[in-house]
């Protein structure tokens, strides 16, 4: 019988919503919410009662050696130590010496890596980093033009000089030539006899390879430039940390002045000679 009663679908019991005029106060509080709030309140009240009893029964002459090392926060919280043994002054100086040696070693490694990268690349003001060596010696597509006389050769040389720093394009530099006759002659020289399909495909492939090589070289330059910048920043940070550590060691040995915790400046008084 009970199994049949459980198999039948029952009505869903929905919680009563907050009345419309009280919606601005949030969700309607249920009995379970009150129970949780009351339990938390009673637990805090019992804790305060125990603390008041401890404070009333406290012995003013009570003393423990742990009171020397323990501290109390301004809000009344007791700050206990982790049980670590306090190092002596000489031990701290030795550790700072080892830290300085470690920083110096890292600084030398960073400096060597930076110098090695600078030897492979030439710094310029305009473009940042320019590849030296094999990458700069790679030559793109070439085109040899044959002319009939010296006058045509001079016109072609002028057009070539104006377009040698840009990717090869047959119409580049024509607008810079003066006069209609010069442009017509240069166009005839550039057009020349009709080319076969194989020659056109070879020239197109050469231009595409040169463009890909140029993009790859640019990406490499940007990567190496950012790496060089990071190495310089790391070297600067290591030098700053090393100088700060040297200053701390000098203050511990009493060889330089400084500022104490109270903000008072002090300096070492040398013996008058």
What is the pLDDT at residue 178? 47
Closest CA to 88 of 96, 78, 77, 98: 96
pLDDT tens for 200-234 read 778 888 888 888 988 988 888 888 888 899 999 99
What is the pLDDT at residue 166? 47
**CB-based contacts of 172: which residues, under 8 Å, 6+ apart?**
162, 163, 166
pLDDT tens for 138-154 read 445 566 666 666 776 66
- For residue 168, the Cα-to-chain-centroid distance in whole angstroms is 39
DSSP secondary structure letters along 120-142: HEEEETTTEEEE-THHHH-----
What is the pLDDT at residue 127? 47
DSSP secondary structure letters along 215-229: HHHHHHHHHHHHHHH
Supply the pTM of this predicted model: 0.41
pLDDT tens for 34-63 read 999 999 999 999 999 999 999 999 898 888
Distance separating alpha carbons of residues 256 and 270, to the nearest angstrom:
11
What is the pLDDT at residue 160? 57
Average pLDDT over residues 69-89: 76
């Amino acid at each position: 019988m009970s199994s049949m009663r459980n198999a039948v679908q029952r009505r869903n019991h929905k919680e009563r919503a907050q009345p419309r005029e009280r919606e601005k106060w949030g969700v309607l509080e249920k009995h379970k919410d009150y129970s949780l709030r009351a339990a938390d309140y009673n637990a805090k009240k019992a804790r305060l009662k125990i603390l008041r009893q401890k404070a009333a029964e406290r012995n003013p002459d009570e003393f423990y050696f742990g009171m020397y090392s323990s501290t109390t926060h301004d809000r009344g919280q007791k700050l206990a130590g982790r049980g670590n043994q306090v190092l002596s002054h000489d031990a701290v100086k030795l550790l700072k010496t080892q830290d300085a040696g470690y920083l110096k070693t890292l600084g030398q490694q960073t400096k060597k890596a930076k110098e090695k990268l600078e030897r492979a690349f030439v710094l310029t003001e305009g473009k940042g980093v320019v590849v030296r060596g094999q990458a700069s010696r790679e030559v793109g597509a070439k085109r040899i033009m044959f002319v009939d006389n010296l006058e045509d050769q001079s016109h072609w040389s002028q057009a070539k000089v104006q377009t040698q720093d840009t990717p090869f394009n047959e119409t580049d530099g024509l607008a810079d030539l003066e006069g209609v006759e010069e442009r017509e002659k240069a166009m005839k020289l550039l057009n020349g006899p009709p080319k076969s399909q194989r020659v056109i495909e070879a020239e197109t492939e050469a231009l595409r390879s040169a463009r890909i090589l140029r993009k790859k070289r640019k990406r490499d330059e940007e990567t190496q430039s950012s790496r060089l910048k990071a190495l310089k920043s790391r070297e600067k940070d290591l030098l700053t940390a090393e100088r700060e550590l040297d200053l701390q060691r000098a203050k511990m040995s009493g060889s330089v002045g400084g500022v104490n915790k109270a903000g008072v400046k002090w300096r070492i008084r040398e013996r008058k000679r």
